[in-house]
């Protein structure tokens, strides 16, 4: 299974906000620290805000922060919210599926079950489990470390 760039960036944003939970963070500092473009981040931040994972504040002193407690953010839920619309294989897409085996294929169900097992495993992991006590991650995501 391959995770989309959007989900990868979403996890980086959430971890960065968690590592800096005492303050508003900016899109530009996340982009610098996580080595990505602000344009990609903007779309991800918007989606995470709509899903309630982030709170955003516009304006000169604006920024973003977690919209929920770290312990309440289950990684499986985040992945489902961002990945559920992306078919694992072309032939799993209902819109443009041209596979002649679709009515008899058991692979579709088997792979869907495997994907759900993957998400279920991630349900046991919360954002605080990824960040809290992770000294190396906190050093990397501290704003001073990201200014280079």
Domain with residue 52: its CATH number is: 1.10.10.10
Q: Is residue 146 part of a domain?
A: no
CA distance 86 to 3: 10
Enter the tokens of residue 45: 């931040």
Tell me how many domains the chain contains.
Answer: 1
Helix extents (H) in the chain: 5-19, 27-34, 38-50, 75-83, 107-123, 127-131, 135-141
Entry pTM: 0.85
Q: Is residue 148 part of a domain?
A: no
For residues 49-61, average pLDDT: 92
Rounded to 10°, the helix 38-50/27-34 angle is: 120
99: domain range? 5-141
Judged by DSSP in three states, 2 sits in: coil
Task: Annotate 51-87 with b (16+ C-beta within 10 A) or e (fewer).
Answer: eebbeeeeeeeebbbbbeebeebbbbbbbbbbbeeeb
For residues 49-60, average pLDDT: 92
Q: Is residue 147 part of a domain?
A: no
CA distance 48 to 64: 11
Residue-wise pLDDT tens digits, 69-122: 999 999 999 999 998 776 676 666 666 667 777 778 888 788 888 888 999 999
Q: With contact defined as beta carbons under 8 Å apart, do 138 and 18 qualify?
A: no
Q: With contact defined as beta carbons under 8 Å apart, do 19 and 131 qualify?
A: yes
CA distance 20 to 11: 14
Residue-wise pLDDT tens digits, 17-48: 999 988 999 999 999 998 999 998 999 999 99
Q: Is residue 50 part of a domain?
A: yes
């Amino acid at each position: 299974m391959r995770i989309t760039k959007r989900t990868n960036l979403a996890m980086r944003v959430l971890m960065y906000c968690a590592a800096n939970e005492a303050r508003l963070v900016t899109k530009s500092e996340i982009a610098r620290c996580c080595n990505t473009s602000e344009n990609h981040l903007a779309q991800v931040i918007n989606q995470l805000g709509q899903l309630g994972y982030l709170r955003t504040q516009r304006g000169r002193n604006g920024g973003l922060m977690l919209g929920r407690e770290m312990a309440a953010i289950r990684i499986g839920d985040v992945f489902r919210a961002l990945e559920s619309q992306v078919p694992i294989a072309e032939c799993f897409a209902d819109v443009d599926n041209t596979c002649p085996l679709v009515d008899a294929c058991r692979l579709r169900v088997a792979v869907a079950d495997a994907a759900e097992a993957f998400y279920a495993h991630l349900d046991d992991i919360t954002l605080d489990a990824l960040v809290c006590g992770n000294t190396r991650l906190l050093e990397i995501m501290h704003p001073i470390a990201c200014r280079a």
